[in-house]
Amino acid sequence: MTSLQGQLLISSGGLYDPNFRHTVILVGEHTEAGALGVVLNRPLPVTVAESVPPLADLVPEGESLFQGGPVSQGQPVLLADFFDGEDADLRVFASIGFLIGDVAEGAGRGLRQARIYSGYSGWDAGQLESELAQDAWIVGPARVEDVFTHEPQALWSRVLRRMGPDFDLLSRMPYDPSLN
């Protein structure tokens, strides 16, 4: 098994599950036991300050809470760009990683930027591999600017377009193909 940690999962045109339709997921961990990650492009209509006040100082004022996935939606998940990647509890790629559990006072000083998610996306052993075999996902390299994009709703199309001409048509596919 080749780990997809630090890669993006881009939902394919045939993935109609509303939890994952038109999503881009950063894979945070991928082992024989399963995988987990967060959806990068689903901001919620609530701010971090409104929903998770203790973490509000870690993000810019007015920053939206993001829907990380369908698992443990009541649990905040913190993904950050660290000045020193070794400070991450779970390093994903480059200086990007997760802080796990309670966030220590002063943790913000070690962060360039952070984003807070409600829940995460998870797969049991072999589940992600099965979905990949069914062409539910397209795998691509992650970039820091993907994680902290200022236009999350455009991320799915943008990532597909940068993957080259083979993905251009898919990148323009509407969320609901019946509207085409």
Residue-by-residue pLDDT tens, the chain, 180 positions:
899 999 999 999 888 899 999 999 999 999 999 999 999 999 999 999 999 999 999 999 999 999 999 999 999 999 999 999 888 999 999 999 999 887 777 778 889 999 999 999 999 999 999 999 999 999 999 999 999 999 999 999 999 999 999 998 888 887 766 665
The whole-model pTM stands at 0.94
Closest to 26 in 3D by CA, of 144, 136, 112: 144
Q: Who contacts 66 (Cβ-Cβ below 8 Å, separation ≥6)?
A: 38, 39, 40, 42, 43, 44, 115, 116, 117, 118, 152
User: 7-179 has which CATH code?
Assistant: 3.40.1740.10
97 phi and psi, to 5 degrees? -170, 180
Rounded CA separation 126/145 (Å):
30
Rounded CA separation 143/92 (Å):
11
40 phi and psi, to 5 degrees? -85, -15
Token pair listed for 66: 């993001």
Rounded CA separation 147/167 (Å):
21
**What ranges do the domains of the chain cover?**
7-179
Q: How many CB atoms lie within 10 A of CB 156?
A: 21
